[in-house]
Structure 1
Amino acid sequence: MARTRIKDILSGGTTGARYKVCGWVRTRRDSKGGFSFIELNDGSCMENLQLIADAQTADYEGTVLRLQPGCSLEVEGLLQASPGKGQRVELKVEALRVFGWADPEHYPLQKKRHSFEFLRTIAHLRPRTNTFGAVARVRNAVSHAIHTFFQERGFLYVHTPIITGSDCEGAGDLFHITTFDLGAVPIEEGRVDFSEDFFGQPANLTVSGQLEAEIYALALGDVYTFGPTFRAENSNTSRHLAEFWMVEPEMAFCELEGDMDLAVEFLQYLFRHVLDHCRGDLEFFNRFIDQSVIGTLETLATQDFERLSYTEAIEILSKSGEEFEFPVAWGTDLQSEHERYLCEKTFKKPVILTDYPKTIKPFYMKLNPDGKTVRAMDVLVPKIGEIIGGSQREDDYDTLLQRIEESGLHVDDYWWYLDLRRFGSTPHAGFGLGLERLVQFITGMGNIRDVIPFPRTPGNLNF
């Protein structure tokens, strides 16, 4: 008999039919009448399947009555209507096999609430909890929807390198990699001699696949990359990770307006997908984490996005009378408190800001005719602020060269990127969205470390 997922049994199982299920025991309680109720979960959905085992079950006392939370089982039985409250059906056990026992004195996930801080210390077991099982299912659904969205629109999925010799953002927050014995690094004229290293030059973990995605966009049209990226920013906040996943579409023959249109369509598609496919998990988050989760997603899935320039936003914030922690001034980057004020108090809807000062944006963004601002855009949503950042890319060779030099980067590292502006350059644009920040927004989880399976943060490399 083939194994059936609990999700499929609970959503469409046939009473009177026999099923085989596998999973982990959540609870067991025994009746004075000589039978036991076992709650089994296999991770396919939030709900448990109730098993009924009576004294006629083989080795009832030696097996069933020894079951504890965490034990893994294979069960065969007859599905029947449940007379009890809280479940439509239950499985009458006919055969039960224990794959793995869990000692109740040492198994840390007993039937009580555990803090998220504690659960981070047992990341190998926390997916068995309701919260982290739900996070994993939402993350999976969002990842699937990302690929579906772009594939349905003819985008090509491009795998960009994790190891790179360039700095896409020009911020310098890079993880450097080497095969050198750090106790005997070769030095030539007072500097590290990277010619003897594995790649023969300095190498880093990538902060973005964008630059390489542009290569393929300027040959094949519309592409996207979706993979891990790394930032060596020494930030221990609830919104930052050292390793996270980014989706980055890149479109040839596209200017900023088309980039913004795609970003809105993309977000609303993802919100609708999660509402349609993760309802049970969202109801859990709505009940126990953030009571506005479902309402927010339903509103944003259909709501228009306000569009205004960075300069207009600065004027609104300056005249707001609000006492911000960080001062507002033209030429400074907006903080989360500023972005949220615009979304939650000024417009009461998502906002797209455009045309930022060139001094606070990367070198690759297209310079506006005023020479002071670039064709950048940030999509802001309530609760968190920026969720997408993008731009039209600089497609003029001379301007790009000047921007690289102004940013203090080594021109030789970007010879190939400049070449794209010499041979058939076109207007092109794209954006980046961090998967973890999106999942954090969808679920209402307070810390980004709880929406990635194994968080990498300053001082933490466990699991």
Structure 2
Amino acid sequence: MAAFKNIKLLFVPLRIFLNKTPSSLQLNLYRFKYNEAYSVKSVLLDHPVGSDVVVKGWVKSIRKQKRTTFMHISDGGVEQIQVVIPSSACDEDCCFNSAVEISGKVVVSPKCNQPVEIQGEKIKVVGKLDLQSFPFGPRKYYPPEYVRQQIHLRPKTNTYSAILRLSSLISNALQTTLIQDNFVSVFTPILTSNDCEGAGEVFLIRPSSNEMCREMGGNRKPEESYFNKKVYLTVSGQLHLEAIAGGISKVFTMGPTFRSENSRSRRHLAEFRMLEAEIAFCNDLQPILSTIESLVKQSAKIILELGSLDLVTVGNYYNENLEESLNELLKFSFATISYREAMELLLKNRDSFKTPPRDGADLGSEHELFLVNHMGGPTFLVDWPANIKPFYMRTSDDAHSLVSCVDLLVPGVGELCGGSLRENRYDILKSRLQALNLEESLNWYLDLRKFGGSPTGGFGMGVERLIAYLLRIPNVKDIVPFPRTPHNCPM
């Protein structure tokens, strides 16, 4: 931890980057010019010595001497480039983290870890910075709790900007992996009239204008005035995905979901992203397990290939060797155990827990983490008791007390992903909905079984939890740009 510096000079050796970057990006990205300025990456990789360039970015370090000023500039990418400029030409307002525009020539760098630098000729400060009140200083370590309090400014730190770039790579890897496996990307609604999980952890919505509620609703309750019924922020797009899977056999969505849990733990947020997928003609759990494992490992591969420098930055901050842990993940074959086997193991070790496990009950995070550590890595937990799982899960043909479902447990996080086969037997599903007084509101869901529906199965994966697992970040609030939790909704 002590070795970490908040401001870390990061360079990209030309041959290393070229070896790891797809040729399509090399052809289309480096020559991109925006607003009369070139990206730092393009200057490092694509501009010959002697060419005139303009770059715009933020000063990540600055060292002023009598005749010469040295600074490193970042435009938001992992790359930084050194600028050498006469001190007489350096704007007096130029300081750490100020926004600048620099004109100069590309010259050979005397440093072996950077091929070129910019011999600055003119500098313009386009965004002044009050260094006295700025909450971050150069080359200083700040704990996550402090950085979290400066939520609107933390993208200026090297660590958090690295987390954002790696998060983008992971999000793209998830979608690319599914699309390459013939999944179709769709959008499911944020506003919905159903509580998919049935836990009541929903946010009820209504117009803020009482006048509009009276005008539209008449004698109805305000929360029913706009849509003629209660409508919520979605907790899951699964039921809608099942409808789409009635005509397209593989579909997925990745969007915001909302849970009104009264929890401020390091794993929970009121708003987060969920990757959800649905597979038609799915009769057993194996395609679901295979898809989940592929998504996790492909995400790890991508950030190893394209995010190596950012991995160093984040790993230094959290005192983790991320490259080593990701390579170990790629070698590990995910284990599988049943709920019954897991419960027997937990009960044998009941004295190890603050809250002892109860047979037939859900698992707590300490139980999940114990199981993962015992199994040595990511573990699929299958065949759960039906009475603690949602109505839509299919009961096993040979044991109606169990449902064909899976939770993926991973180190440091616990539950990352949950999935199941869906109950496609019309009469059984109808009786469940009747018992829950949901038959009227989910009559359309029954229709999916009546009109040419196939067996389906699917899963949902918390994107922020996946990022937390891969990057060994203890708290998901340090991943989401603007975390929303109980009693906390800044900006």
The TM-score, its normalising length taken from structure 2, stands at 0.86
Q: Does 1:19 align with 2:53?
A: yes
TM alignment of 1:65-214, pairs within 5 A? 65-84=92-111, 87-111=114-138, 112-179=140-207, 193=221, 197-214=225-242
Secondary structure at 2:247 match in 1: helix
SS in 1 for 2:297: helix
Identity %: 36
Structure 1 pair 170–126 and aligned structure 2 pair: CA distance change class (3 A): same
Query: Offset at 1:81?
Result: 3.1
Does the Cα contact within 8 Å between 1:264 and 1:305 map onto a contact in 2?
Answer: yes
- What residue is the counterpart of 1:430 in the other structure? 458
Q: Quick check: 1:329 aligned with 2:346?
A: no
Distance 1:71 1:439, change over 3 A: same
Matched, 1:461 2:489: yes
From the superposition, tell whether residues 13 and 265 of structure 1 become closer, same or farther in structure 2 (CA, over 3 Å): same
Alignment match, 2:69: 36
Q: Could you tell me how far apart the structure 2 residues matched to 1:130 and 1:105 are? A: 20
Structure 1 runs of 4+ aligned residues shifted over 6 Å read 182-186
Per-residue CA deviation, residues 244-266 of structure 1 (Å, 9 max, x unaligned), is 01110101011312111111112
Moved more, 81-90 or 352-361: 81-90
Q: 1:50 pairs with 47, 65, 82, which one?
A: 82
**Greater Cα offset, 223-232 or 318-327:** 318-327
SS in 2 for 1:120: helix
Amino acid at match of 2:326: L
Match of 1:316, SS state, is: helix
**Does 1:306 find its partner at 2:347?**
no
Question: Among 449, 453, 457, which residue is 1:421 paired with?
Answer: 449
**Whole-angstrom distance in 2 between the partners of 1:122 and 1:286:** 21
**2:411 & 2:469 partners in 1: Cα distance?**
9
Aligned-pair CA distance for 1:113: 2.7
Could you say what secondary structure the match of 1:404 adopts?
helix
Q: Check whether the contact 2:213–2:222 (CA below 8 A) recurs between aligned residues.
A: no
Residue 193 of structure 1 aligns with an amino acid whose one-letter code is: K
Residue number in structure 2 paired with 1:340: 369
Asked whether the equivalents of residues 205 and 223 of structure 2 are also in contact (C-alpha less than 8 Å), the reply is no
- Deviations 1:320-354 (Å, cap 9, x if unpaired)? 4651122123211112222222222x221221110
In structure 1, C-alpha distance between the alignment counterparts of 2:474 and 2:48, rounded to whole Å: 40
SS for the counterpart of 1:412 is coil
Pair 68,205 (structure 1): closer, same or farther in 2 beyond 3 Å = same
| Deviation digits for residues 186-236 of structure 1 (CA, Å, limit 9, x no counterpart) | 7xxxx9636861111111000011100111111111000110000000101
Output aligned runs, 1:216-231, within 5 Å.
Answer: 216-231=244-259
Residue 414 of structure 2 is aligned with which of 359, 373, 385?
385
Give the whole-Å Cα distance in 2 for the aligned partners of 1:127 and 1:55: 29
Q: Quick one: structure 1 residues 409 and 180, their matched pair in 2 at CA, closer, same or farther if it must change by over 3 Å?
A: farther
Distance 1:343 1:183 in 2: 54
> Could you say what secondary structure the match of 1:418 adopts?
helix
Deviation at 1:88, TM superposition (A): 4.5
Match of 2:290 among 257, 261, 274: 261
Distance 1:169 1:38, change over 3 A: same
Which runs of no fewer than 5 residues in structure 1 stay unpaired? none
Equivalent pair of 1:354/1:377 in contact (CA under 8 Å):
yes
Q: Deviations over 1:162-209 (max 9, x none)?
A: 0011100000000000126569987xxxx9636861111111000011
Measure how far apart 1:72 and its partner are: 0.9
Please tell me whether residue 410 in structure 1 is matched to residue 438 in structure 2. Answer: yes
Q: d(CA) in 2 for partners of 1:229 and 1:331?
A: 28
Deviation at 1:97, TM superposition (A): 2.1
Structure 1 residues 364 and 321: alpha-carbon distance in aligned structure 2, compared to 1, 3 A threshold: closer
In structure 2, relative to structure 1, the CA distance for the partners of 1:274 and 1:196 (3 Å cut) is closer
Q: CA deviation at 1:297?
A: 1.5
Residue 251 of structure 2 aligns to which amino acid in structure 1?
V
Return the offset for 1:86.
6.3
- Whichever residue aligns with residue 165 of structure 2, its letter is R
- After TM superposition, give the deviation of residue 280 of structure 1 in Å: 0.7
Kept in 1, the 8 Å contact 2:65–2:87? The answer is: no
Q: 1:241–1:455: 8 Å Cα contact kept in structure 2?
A: yes
Length, aligned pairs only: 450
Structure 2 gap segments, 5+ residues each: 1-32
**Is residue 430 of structure 2 the alignment partner of residue 401 of structure 1?**
yes
C-alpha contact 2:224 2:230 (8 A) present in aligned 1: no
Q: Which of 236, 244, 250 in structure 1 is aligned with 2:272?
A: 244
State the distance in 1 between where 2:223 and 2:317 align.
55
